[in-house]
Amino acid sequence: MSKQNNYGFATRSVHAGAEADPTTGARSVPITQSTAFVFKDADHAAALFGLEDSGFIYSRLTNPTVSVFQDRVASLEGGVGATCTASGHSAQLLALFALMESGDDFIASNKLYGGSITQFGHTFKKFGWNVIFVDPVDPENFRQAMTPKTKAVFTESLANPGGVVCDIEKIAEIAHQAGVPLIVDNTLPSPALCRPIEFGADIVVHSTTKFISGHGNAMGGAVIDSGKFDWSQNDKFKSLTQPCGAYHGLNFYEKFGAMAYTLYCHAVGLRDLGPTMSAMNAYLSITGAETLPLRMHKHAENALAVAKFLQQHEAVEWVSYAGLKDNPFYSLAQKYCPSGAGAVFTFGVKGGYEAGVKVVDHCQLFSHLANIGDTRSLIIHPASTTHRQLTESQQIAAGAGPEVVRLSIGIEDVEDIIADLDQALRA
């Protein structure tokens, strides 16, 4: 891995974490479809279970195919390690699990994917975790929301679906001054366009289901650790800095240092919560990652052309795409996503809710479904689907008001994408 990390991004997209199979010589990463793995002897088994040695025990914890994908996403994001999970939502759960105790709170942007707002605001309450939502446009809002029980700050690099670009560097400074880590969901731009760790993020999460896998055929999530946060700087993170009863008093930070968070996510998070990525989904995601830089370039190029077209369309009220020069987040996009502002954005249809629904229904090339990050162009009306569980005020705050249509621009010929949108808007 150390040699591979010296390579460029595109090379690491293809090679990081993988070598030819030593048994068969297979160049493609094998799908290790096995629930468990044979130990060399009793001492080897004891060392694995005691975290004294690394290796494979049981696929809920570790699997050779998943391990390759973990090494790859860690390399692409510039982290020291990664934990892959069954979905993006389980990645968010695992990311916070190592940090939170019942009664703690974390601060999150209110410009998030609707499912994340629901997960944070409702389901996490069952664990005694309290979320404080703030408007991320002004980073100072995070500082003002800090409490003695705050354990983390959470935001998206590019907000889904509102298109807000967060000032990662400033938010990271505020989090660090309070002695807590910044967690950034980097799903929309992917590491091909944005690398939050380079701007101070401590933990990066992904729904790898989206752009990293890229073909709409593999569910997954990832938690990437920068390895830079000092978990011992205060007494907030007891799971990492105090003796763990499940491992005979082992102190993760003393034992593993920069890898403490990743090892805890594996040894306790995956073991006890069980949101394991399957070997097949890891294999498909590895294959997708190999073309990530090529696809993201085309995605972003097409998205910019489509956004410019929609700006001039008589049936469109507004377009929110950070790649447009008149967008309020254009300068931040140039800083954090200099190679393109991603492929997902929203626009407002004249006529409100009913008009938005009709546009979706009249598209022919676009697929109407609840996903983003596919090679195919996708469309949805968030207020009636992904953000339906939110109140109208929450929908508007999240950038998913009644007139909003969300697009995930694919890698088809851009002329065909534009023609389909044009006929749907005119219909």
Kindly report, residue by residue over 102-142, the tens digit of the pLDDT: 999 999 999 998 889 999 999 999 999 999 999 999 999 99
pLDDT of residue 384: 86
**The CATH number of 4-288 is which of 1.10.1040.10, 3.40.640.10, 3.40.50.720, 3.40.50.1220?**
3.40.640.10
Radius of gyration (Cα) for the chain, nearest Å?
22
Greatest Cα pair distance, the chain, in angstroms, is: 73
pLDDT tens readout for residues 194-243: 999 999 999 999 999 999 999 999 999 999 999 999 999 999 999 999 99
pLDDT of residue 228: 97
* The pLDDT of residue 259 is above 50: yes
pLDDT tens readout for residues 378-414: 999 988 887 787 788 888 877 788 899 999 999 999 9
* The pLDDT of residue 1 is above 50: no
What CATH fold (topology level) applies to the domain 292-426?
Aspartate Aminotransferase, domain 1 (3.90.1150)
pLDDT tens readout for residues 297-333: 999 999 999 999 999 999 999 999 999 999 999 999 9
pLDDT category of residue 2 using cuts at 50, 70 and 90: very low
User: What distance in Å separates the CA atoms of residue 277 and residue 285, rounded to the nearest whole number?
Assistant: 10
* The pLDDT of residue 4 is above 70: no
Report the predicted TM-score, pTM, of the whole model to 2 decimal places. Answer: 0.95
* pLDDT cut 70: percent of the chain above it: 99
Q: Token digits for 179?
A: 């002695």
pLDDT tens readout for residues 12-25: 999 999 999 888 99
- Start-end of CATH 3.90.1150.10 domains in the chain: 292-426
Mean of pLDDT over the chain: 95
pLDDT of residue 8: 96
pLDDT tens readout for residues 58-92: 999 999 999 999 999 999 999 999 999 999 999 99
pLDDT tens readout for residues 137-146: 999 999 999 9
pLDDT of residue 269: 97
pLDDT of residue 3: 55
- Start-end of CATH 3.40.640.10 domains in the chain: 4-288
